[in-house]
Structure 1
Amino acid sequence: MSEAAVVLVTGASRGLGRGIAIELAASGYSVAINYAGNQVAAEEAAELCRQAAPNDNQEFFPVRGDISCSESRSAMLKAVLDKFGRLDSLVNNAGIAPSVRADITEASEESFESLIKTNLMGPYFLTQEVANYWLKEKPEALKGGFRIVFVTSISSHTASISRGDYCISKAGLSMAVQLWAQRLADENIQVYELRPGIMKTDMTAGVTSKYDALIEDGLVPQKRWGTAKDLGLATRSLIDGDFPFSTGTVIDVDGGFQIRHL
């Protein structure tokens, strides 16, 4: 059994998930680095975690799994438990953008179904599996309890008519946080939502110039892009147990985007 607390981070091979994994490594955790297909990127993320890790007893385990598939989710969780002998926290970070940005009058059912299965059903039912493991097996909780973090998006409350499927998937995920937080509140399992804003990732690479101009014009009050480190620092604080009496809380990581202002 791992001597360090273990966190499973979905979609951790690149982008925001990699930033989360590195910050958790720096805080002393072992990390299961979930990836869908890019093993090279997952191994790179594991090596960066090793470089950030302060303790020799930490381990970093790339684990393949498609969160949109029930059998794959179950196999992934089994692999993590077989490897570490424990699981202390889950970060539901993995998600996809539409392959084509299309006006909602033209968007396809295929795209909608794909995003719902990956962005909403995947984390919802992975959480179900992890929660049921904790409730049934009743393992010892390190650092004061078990924790689940859902990474959603400002798209859960901000309409984008060229990405309707994405917005709906993230809005549903925000409700999933509330449901799981309510269900698990008296089981020593805290559930949180991190809501990132305009973040510098592969997903936004194609619209960089558009958002550069919008950010400079004040769309983001702090006038900069969000980074993987920004989200990683917020996740680290939650997993560390710095908010033990705040289950169900939404934390915006958006540079002030959510502020209504004139």
Structure 2
Amino acid sequence: MTQNDTTTERVAIVTGGSRGIGRETATRLGRDGYAVVINYAGNQAEAEEAVKEVEQAGGRAIAIRADVADETAVASLFDQTEEAFGGVDVIVHAAGIMPLAPLVDLDLAVFDSVVRTNLRGTFVVDQQAARRLRNGGSIINISSSLTKLARPNYSAYAATKGGVEAITLILARELRGRDITVNAVAPGPTATALFFEGKPQELIDRIAAEPPLERLGQPEDISEIVAFLAGPARWINGQVIYANGGSAA
């Protein structure tokens, strides 16, 4: 299938699609007429609510549970998507975790869990996507502007997102001749549960005031960029798009 083929429904898998940026992205793709698979790690109720939101937006949707770092589970996720909708055109890899602590204090078991979910998860999901996306497809990884902003307490998270960007840039070149684009979107501070968790209001207000636009990003700010990369943006490839309202690196 090519981007100009309007007779075949486009199909997207959104990992981490039950909440935050992933959920808003799934709904945005539903408005564009996609069939969307909501991948989730554990909260089935949230995933089913996300399915309803996609359907209300005009798309078809199902929810499938899978650990993004488990290659067998991710292969099954793609199998089930192909069985339900006939193929896969777009993967939006938004699943991730973000425990915060100074490097000197971070428990190595926590560090290993961040690496497993954020970095290994990206590698596993992108590997299946590279093998199975149809022509005209798009792989969109969610990175973070923290790779540039270098904010204290984010060393583990930012390190994994730096790896996500490296995977993205290299995979785009490895897929030469496949008509598949590979890009990353690197949000700045965005008003999601993942961002708000554990932060005092004073810190939230201070971070929100940093960009010239003087506000936090909203999930819909990011979903619009993802939808552009998933659909019409065929000449954007092998790029990291920093979506942070102008926060200085």
TM-score where L is the length of structure 1? 0.87
Q: 8 Å contact 1:156–1:174 — kept in the other structure?
A: no
1:6–1:213 CA distance, 2 compared to 1 (3 A): same
Pairs aligned (count): 241
Question: Partners in 2 of 1:92 and 1:43 — Cα distance?
Answer: 19
Please tell me whether residue 213 in structure 1 is matched to residue 213 in structure 2. no
2:39 is the counterpart of 1:39: no
Q: CA RMSD in A?
A: 1.6
Name the residue aligned to 1:97. Answer: 98
Counterpart amino acid of residue 192 in structure 2: T
SS in 1 for 2:111: helix
Deviations 1:185-231 (A, max 9, x none): 32101011101000001112232621212333xx1111111111111
- CA drift of 1:157 comes to 2.3
Aligned to 1:184: 175
> Which structure 2 residue ranges, 5 or more long, are not aligned?
1-6
Secondary structure at 1:187's aligned position in 2? coil
Matching residue of 1:65: 66
Q: Answer with 201-210 or 232-241: which moved more.
A: 201-210
In the alignment, the residues of structure 1 paired with residue 49 and residue 208 of structure 2 have an alpha-carbon distance, to the nearest angstrom, of 31
Distance 1:248 1:25, change over 3 A: same
Structure 1 counterpart of 2:86: 85
Runs of 4+ deviating beyond 3 Å: none
C-alpha distance in 1 between matches for 2:112 and 2:234: 36
Asked if residue 227 in structure 1 is aligned to residue 227 in structure 2, the reply is no
CA deviations over 1:57-114 (Å, ceiling 9, x no partner): x42010110102222212211111121121011111110111xx32111212111111
SS in 1 for 2:177: helix
**Runs of 5+ consecutive residues of structure 1 not aligned to the other structure:** none
Which position in structure 1 is the counterpart of 2:3?
none
TM-score, with structure 2 as normaliser: 0.92
- C-alpha contact (below 8 Å) 1:146/1:188 kept by paired residues: yes
- Partners of 2:145 and 2:243 within 8 A in 1: no
Does the CA contact (< 8 Å) of 1:9 and 1:92 recur in 2? Answer: yes
The residue number in structure 2 matching 1:161 is: 152
1:232: Cα distance to partner? 0.9
CA distance in 1 between counterparts of 2:71 and 2:13 reads 17
Q: Which residue matches 2:16?
A: 11
Distance 1:130 1:174 in 2: 16
| Partner Cα separation in structure 1 for residue 12 and residue 70 of structure 2 | 21
Deviates more, 1:2-11 or 1:222-231: 2-11
CA offset digits 1:27-49 (Å, max 9, x no partner): 11110000011111011011111
- Secondary structure of 1:148's match? strand
